[in-house]
Amino acid sequence: MTAALRTGRLLLRPVRSADLPAVTRLWTDPEVRRHLGGPVIDSVVRIRQRRIVGAPGFHAVVRAADGVLLGLVTVETAGRGGETEVSYQFLPEHWGSGYAREAVAAAVARALETAPSVVAVTQEANTRSRRLLEAVGLTHADSFEEWDARQVLYRRRAPGAL
């Protein structure tokens, strides 16, 4: 997914320099990072800041009405057999409004236009993320231990894919 994508309330577009303060907050917020290995350290934040602006696969999710950055959705080829993987992070003040579900559903649908399947991984303990993935049509495919925590792999295949 490289081109901008609009939904009823949102715009998913490439990350811009002006987005970096909110994106940095995503990487360093303990609540956002609770199931993602914890806050990112400063030196890694600086490296990521240089690499994310305009990078393919990284999409700022902004509210179409006012341009407020709500979160990030990433769609990229994963190491897991070369499948397309979707991941996401949203600022806590925007949780519970359906924005993540709307954005992830749109990103998955767009990815499945060209990819045979889409996967997502979340910690088993992250019940909110698991519900979101199931709500957008991904199903449990595997469970495993990684990064000292139980992980769950979800997958959705494109219509007609094996």
Residue-wise pLDDT for 103-118, tens only, equals 999 999 999 999 999 9
Residue located via tokens 């231990």: 145
Residue ranges of domains in the chain, CATH in brackets: 5-157 (3.40.630.30)
Q: What is the DSSP string of 2-59?
A: -S-EE-SSEEEEE--GGGHHHHHHHHH-TTTTTTTTSPPPHHHHHHHHHHHTT-TTEE
- Percent of the chain scored above 70 by pLDDT? 90
Per-residue pLDDT at 51: 79
User: Confidence band (pLDDT; 50, 70, 90) for 79?
Assistant: low
Q: 154 phi and psi, to 5 degrees?
A: -110, 150
pLDDT score recorded for residue 26? 81
Q: What is the pTM of this model?
A: 0.88
How confident is the model at residue 29, as a pLDDT?
Answer: 80
Is the pLDDT higher at 147 or at 106? Answer: 106
The pLDDT score that the predictor gives to residue 100 is 95
1 pLDDT exceeds 60? Answer: no
What is d(CA 74, CA 48) in angstroms, rounded to the nearest whole number?
14
Q: What is the pLDDT of residues 32-64, one digit of tens each?
A: 677 676 667 677 767 777 778 888 888 889 999
Answer for the pair 158, 116: CB distance below 8 angstroms, yes or no.
yes
